[in-house]
Chains A and B, each alone.
Chain A
Amino acid sequence: MTDCVAIVIVSHSPEVARGTADMVRQMVGEDVRVAYCGGNPAGGLGTDVAAIQDAIRAVDGPKGVAVLVDLGGAETNSEMAIEMMADKLRGEVVLCNAPLVEGAVMAATEASGGASLDAVRATAEEFLS
């Protein structure tokens, strides 16, 4: 299982994050490790740098982690989280410039075939073009 790229889902809403993770699991089963987080440090809508770091740490592996985010703050907070922990991780972590739900499902599908992190990101980002 650790020979697949892992997926992290970051949404402003805990329900959206969990729902997206459920959809990914339904599509690709348990082969790809998926972690998710949503909500600000006070439990409201928003994102939480510490929670993002926990999610990344939970699925960190040698093949790397693709992070999917929803809106502005989720992206900025995820970038910050990744920068702050990059040297303590086993694998590379990249942020995908893709819609959250579609991107996560596409990324996980690609990852389940054993693709590289670059390929996983490229597949997620194809949704934009």
Chain B
Amino acid sequence: MSEWLESAITRAQDINDWLAPKRANAVELLSNTNWPTRKTEAWRYTPLRPVERSIAQAVAASTELSPVEVAGLSAIELVFLNGKFDASQLAETLPEGLSISLGQNLDDAQKSQALDAFSRIKPERHMFGLVNDALAQDVVVVSVAEGAEITQPIRISSLLSQGAESHTRVQISLAEGSRLTVIEDVQAAGETLSTAFVEYDIAKKAHLEHYRFALQTGSNIAIGGSHFNLLDHATMHSTIVAFGSDLSRLDTDIIHAGEFADAKLNAMYLLDGKELFDLHATVEHAMPNGTTEENVRCIAADSSRAVFNGRIHIHRDAQKTLAELNNRNLLMSNTAEINTKPELEIYADDVRCAHGATVAQIDKQALYYLQTRGVSRSKAQVMLNFGFINELIDLMPNAALAEWIRPIIRERFAQMEVK
């Protein structure tokens, strides 16, 4: 076991709050966990040295931090400052049918409900998910009432100042027939370490529109998870946009726990310098008639390393499932590295499942075509890279977010091209 994990366990044992039973359980599981090495399948391509060497530590909430401006986006802001929930940034009045509370402020009945839901969706196999269980400073509980259609998006921003360590946790439940949009974002200043986990319980016929931005770069260590549970006829549409850093790791789990659920996941990550980004996306089809469509695209430049594991697991009862995963990767340099592993594990026969993965360079024909029109090679490369990602940006339902992210991505490609 690593010193880091030992210290995490020790710190967790000092916390005594309403989550005590859950924390104890996590601590016990962690005590029996071997610190991952290259032989640990889930961490095969992602060394944890940065965590072992991290100097990040708990620091007081900094009041200077505020969520990033997005033109045209009027969100309900749910802000964590160095891991502490900042209630002052939350709107005083919330739309009807939406409630947001700090876990410790819930009444006893609500508390016991929240306790039941805690870590029910997030699988135990995520080591840092357990760390988050054990160390989450503030747990925020969001619930949408039956049939409520919340048009204003909720944005969860985890903001970290230099050297901070933070563990944030949000529990979201959508009651039957409700609709909600959630944006998860981490903004970190450097040499930080964060774990940010959100669980989504999506009841019958409810719909979740979800975004996760992991744009922290440099020496930030960002580990997180978004875990979704879908009941009958529930639907979700998720978009993930990530850059890499010394260590960026995201685990998503989509669980079809009801029939006729539909999940769409579009993920893109653009890596430069020595960045690493690792996405582990698991889809569990436990019930019949579900559909899943995943598009994952990656561009790795310079000396970066991209890791993807896309697992689709069709359980014995999940007949008539349709599940597809399409993973495309562009490798831009001789020193960059792409590791991808799409997996199918199928125990039902009347299903249609497929995955495809490609690793290649920019399309030479397209490059030539642009050049014959007078566009320089380097500019053409930026355009093609952008186009490759833009296809997924175009699928983002929220126009303001799409407009906000496009120039950020374009800028990133322009920087890549200079090198």
Q: Are A and B co-members of a single complex?
A: no
